[in-house]
Amino acid sequence: MSFVTVRNLQKHYGDTAVFSDIDFTIAKGEFVTLLGPSGCGKSTLLRCIAGLTGVNAGQILLDGQDLVPLAPQKRDIGMVFQSYALFPNMTVEQNVAFGLRMHKVPGEQACERVAQVLKLVELDTFAGRYPHQMSGGQCQRVALARSLVTRPRLLLLDEPLSALDARIRKHLREQIRQIQQELGLTTIFVTHDQEEALTMSDRIFLMNKGQIVQSGDAQALYTAPVDAFAAGFIGNYNLLASEDASRLLGRPVHSRLAIRPEAIGLTPADAGEAQITGHSLLGNVIRYRVTAHGVALVVDVLNRSAADLYPDGQRVHLAIEPGELREVA
Ligand code: ADP
Ligand code: MG
């Protein structure tokens, strides 16, 4: 049984369509990520679901109820944005309690719920602070607490981690996922970052130009891209034109070919068909640039020891598993 159902959703601004046919379902408790490049319509889709912007046609069902005619505050949806949008003149506690005041939750009960939710985001000792006395990551946790305190049926997160530095971002994405699972809260998360999408989600909807081009779990999106766009967006694939692919494999290939950089094996061989032309160290991985039969490739090799580092100019033999080749449109 699906908990969220979106059918034939259309949104345009004047003559310009942002999307003209969005269809999907989400199960109760599922964590779904909308992943796609800037401008593909992710925020607009979330805003339509939240009711912050109107739709031109289509349905949005939440637990069987059509949300489209409902005002935003009647939808029981929590939303967190990239900019935390906290009230600067209110304490953490007051910021979080604000949503409950709007819902007319009585004082004592409100206090209890605010305390509970601050504990959940590990900010219980920060209740009396003001936003300017807190870091970006802490402010974003306040924004998350504020959206959770009203016990929404659905949580929408629009690039909540994008403004934070890498270390905080990693920590917070684990924390968000943990809280989401603890509460069994159905969540739609928006990002343009493939690593965020791959690590956090039950399912990913990959979007391009107002369409969902592929949906599936992280493994499916990573290993079986449906088209050249998907291969280019997730997994750092080598994307070869059919002529290049034919030359590399020594047999006719009739479409473009996608090969993951870690699906190519390297062995040093003086008479090898390929040559190392450069490398960069990504930490646990060495990323080689290699040329074979005039085709430039990127190859990722696990950085096990200093002996794994081949010098530029080294001739190598390539081993490509046939099962790892993806022909893409
Ligand atoms: P994303 O969140 O994926 O970066 P958006 O949903 O913000 O993308 O935008 C999708 C498209 O809709 C963009 O081309 C953007 O310019 C357009 N758009 C968004 N909001 C408006 C608006 N209020 N008026 C006109 N065009 C808009
Ligand atoms: Mg956006």
CATH number at residue 275: 2.40.50.140
Q: Is 38 in the pocket of ligand 1 (CB under 6 A)?
A: yes
Ligand nearest to the CA of 205: 1
Q: What is the pLDDT of residue 307?
A: 78
Q: Is 44 in the pocket of ligand 1 (CB under 6 A)?
A: yes
Q: What is the pLDDT of residue 49?
A: 98
pLDDT tens readout for residues 166-221: 889 999 999 999 999 999 999 999 999 999 999 999 999 999 999 999 999 999 99
Q: Is 18 in the pocket of ligand 1 (CB under 6 A)?
A: yes
Question: How many domains does one find in the chain?
Answer: 2
Residue 203 and residue 313 share a domain: no
Is 290 a domain residue? Answer: yes
Q: Is 41 in the pocket of ligand 1 (CB under 6 A)?
A: yes
- Ligand 1 centroid to residue 158 C-alpha, Å: 13
Is 96 a domain residue? Answer: yes
Residue 199 and residue 131 share a domain: yes
Burial track 251-290 (b if 16+ CB lie within 10 A, e otherwise): eebeebbbbbbbbbebeeeeebebebeebeeeeeebbbeb
d(CA 310, CA 81): 45
Tell me which amino acid residue 191 is.
T
Q: Which domain holds residue 308?
A: 258-323
DSSP β-ladder status, 154-158 and 186-191: parallel
d(CA 204, CA 63): 21
Residue 263 and residue 227 share a domain: no
Residue 223 and residue 99 share a domain: yes
d(CA 116, CA 151): 12
- Ligand 2 centroid to residue 194 C-alpha, Å: 15
Residue 290 DSSP SS3: strand
Using only C-alpha atoms, the chain has a radius of gyration, in whole angstroms, of 24
Regions in the chain scoring below 50 on pLDDT: none
Is 242 a domain residue? Answer: no
Residue 224 and residue 267 share a domain: no
pTM: 0.92
